[in-house]
Amino acid sequence: MKALFLTREYPPYVYGGAGVHVEYLSRELAKLMDLEVRCFGDQNSREGRLSVKGIDFDKSLFEACDKKLKSPFTSFHNCITFNAQPVDADVVHCHTWYSHFGGLLAQKAYGIPLVVTTHSLEPHRPWKREQLGNGYDLSLWVEKTAMESADAIIAVSGGMKRDVLDLFNVDPDKITVIYNGIDINEYQHRENPEILVKYGIDPQRPFVLFVGRITRQKGIIHLVNAIKHIDAEAQIVLCAGEPDTEEIKAEMLAGVQAVQAVRDNVIWIQKMVPRQEIIPLYSHASVFCCPSIYEPFGIINLEAMACKTPVVGSAVGGIVEIIIDGETGFLVKFDQYRQSPFEPVRPDEFAKSLADPINTLLRDAGLRQRMGEASRRRVEEKFSWPSIAREVHGLYQKLVQSRKGGR
């Protein structure tokens, strides 16, 4: 049996959780079966049973179009190109809406089952219209079409399965919940004070860590607003790059500059920190904060927990299935502050509610240690990639056998 992955992100071009997911799942699946990855970029490699080929084309092709339409048009172009080369796989598996059109074409043109993993859902990301304009309507359309046409859907959390059923006309039996995972050998507590010094962090002082993109979804603006409520001696380290739009970049800059004007221990690292450096940052951090307002799963929480760092996270989406409130960290209610599905009606109160459990952990070293140890145990028991790959492989087998039996 052979599977074909279609994805926008693949190393070295990874900027979000979906790319991390595809990287590790492809590596583990290739230990069980032949796997081909077609992605956006110039990748071209083969190792054992895993082959990777990027779609690299003349970017001037879309230079004349509206800049907000460039991303969806480029994605649809690449999805057609994915299928221009012969497909000899038994199943096609898509990751994010950027690849869905390619999966639909492969399903119809080559007569193979289509699997879609739901890393996020476009109707729950209305702020994307800032970035895509009318291209957001294209993303809504292709996602809905793919979801309702797929032979199987993998939901990365129970909450995501409920969202899929609410938004799309999908048979519940077609949805399987398979969590995201983490490499527990790679992500483990590993201190390196020199990395902290490199980024201007004092190894002798506690710090609160954020890691993620500058996007409405990740809620980083709410954490920035919470800084004024966090103990003054604590450092705040924001590893935040890849802003969705110039508008949110400007909003982030203004917010950070405002808090930096009144405290000198707010450090903004404006890039995606490489893995060999982010692991020590997780390991040294006193608290990791995930203030997302929408999070189907949240791999970054697993990364922090694997490094024995307690997490304070919003009680939304898949986060509530990762963090055990009061045991591995704290969950902060979002619904009570909500004015719309994705914005708090009282943002100052939400910011304060983030700061309170952060301060609880900053003030209690024993609690941090107990929660950190519990976090590591939970990750080891629940979220390893080899077990996840076996679940996905089993799903493929059922689909292929069912398709053959129906002929």
Q: Given a cut of 90, is residue 397 above it in pLDDT? A: yes
Q: Given a cut of 70, is residue 339 above it in pLDDT? A: no
CA end-to-end span of the chain, whole Å?
18
- pLDDT tens for each residue of 168-190: 999 999 999 999 999 999 999 99
Residue bearing the bigger pLDDT, 272 or 193: 193
Q: Given a cut of 60, is residue 15 above it in pLDDT? A: yes
Q: Given a cut of 60, is residue 353 above it in pLDDT? A: yes
Residue 13's DSSP bridge partners are 10
Q: Given a cut of 80, is residue 343 above it in pLDDT? A: no
Question: Topology of domain 2-181+384-405, per CATH?
Answer: Rossmann fold (3.40.50)
- Judge if 2-181+384-405 and 193-382 fold alike in CATH terms: yes
Domain residue ranges of the chain, discontinuous segments joined by +: 2-181+384-405, 193-382
pLDDT band at 93 (very low <50, low <70, confident <90, very high): very high
Residue 118's DSSP bridge partners are 155
Report the mean per-residue pLDDT for the chain: 93
Q: Write down the pLDDT at residue 334.
A: 73
Question: Topology of domain 193-382, per CATH?
Answer: Rossmann fold (3.40.50)
The arithmetic mean of pLDDT across residues 157-161, rounded, is 91
Contact 151, 162 (CB under 8 A): no
The arithmetic mean of pLDDT across residues 225-246, rounded, is 94
- Please name which of 285, 317, 305 lies closest in space to residue 219, comparing C-alpha atoms: 317
pLDDT band at 196 (very low <50, low <70, confident <90, very high): very high
Interior CA angle at 144 toward 72 and 294, to 5°? Answer: 80
pLDDT band at 340 (very low <50, low <70, confident <90, very high): low
- pLDDT tens for each residue of 299-309: 999 999 999 99
pLDDT band at 294 (very low <50, low <70, confident <90, very high): confident
Q: Write down the pLDDT at residue 57.
A: 76
Q: Given a cut of 80, is residue 214 above it in pLDDT? A: yes
The arithmetic mean of pLDDT across residues 42-69, rounded, is 91
- Please name which of 103, 101, 108 lies closest in space to residue 72, comparing C-alpha atoms: 101
pLDDT band at 344 (very low <50, low <70, confident <90, very high): low
Q: Given a cut of 60, is residue 342 above it in pLDDT? A: no
Lowest-pLDDT choice from 4-13, 122-131, 153-162, 171-180 = 122-131
Share of the chain above pLDDT 70, in %: 97
**Which residues make Cβ contacts (< 8 Å) with residue 381, sequence separation at least 6?**
none
pLDDT band at 406 (very low <50, low <70, confident <90, very high): low
How far apart CA 362 and CA 288 sit, in angstroms, is 11
Residue bearing the bigger pLDDT, 348 or 389: 389
